[in-house]
Structure 1
Amino acid sequence: MAKPNYSFEKRQRELAKKKKKEEKLKEKAERKSGAEPAPAEPDDAPPAQDVAAAPPSQG
């Protein structure tokens, strides 16, 4: 059995953190300049729920 490649996993985590940090800085710069990005989903909208995926309650 192959042993896990922890260095690869660590590198992937580091890249994800770096990407997230860069995105945050970019959004912060956009907010500071006054150009607000359009939100993906409005805050006042209820969260979307998949009714078909929910099992019917049996009582």
Structure 2
Amino acid sequence: MATPNYGYEKRQKELAKKRKKEEKLRAKADRKAGVGAPADEAGSEAEPSEGAPATESPQPPQN
């Protein structure tokens, strides 16, 4: 049985936290500018962000 790659898991968590923080800051800036849409729209999740690569690596299986 293969050993878990804790470094990979930690990096994925860090990237997810960074993406979430950037989304919050972007939404806050949009609200401040008066351009923002309601927060309950899910359209922004399907689109890749400007700095993110177009393809994401597959997630490791959860054990």
**Shared fold per TM-score greater than 0.5:** yes
1:34, distance to aligned residue in structure 2 (A):
0.8
**AA aligned opposite 1:2:** A
Question: How many residues of Structure 1 are paired with residues of Structure 2 in the alignment?
Answer: 41
Question: Equivalent residue for 1:6?
Answer: 6
1:37, distance to aligned residue in structure 2 (A):
1.4
1:40, distance to aligned residue in structure 2 (A):
2.0
Question: Equivalent residue for 1:19?
Answer: 19
TM-score, length basis structure 1: 0.63
SS at 1:37's partner residue? Answer: coil
The ranges of structure 1 where at least 4 consecutive aligned residues each deviate by more than 4 angstroms after the TM superposition are: none
**Structure 2: distance between partners of 1:40 and 1:27:** 12
1:36, distance to aligned residue in structure 2 (A):
2.1
Which structure has the bigger radius of gyration? Answer: 1
**Structure 1: distance between partners of 2:3 and 2:36:** 47
Q: Which has the higher contact order (CA 8 A, sep 6+)?
A: 1
Question: Equivalent residue for 2:57?
Answer: none
Q: Percent identity?
A: 61
Say whether residues 1:40 and 2:54 are aligned partners.
no
Unaligned runs of 5+ in 1: 42-59
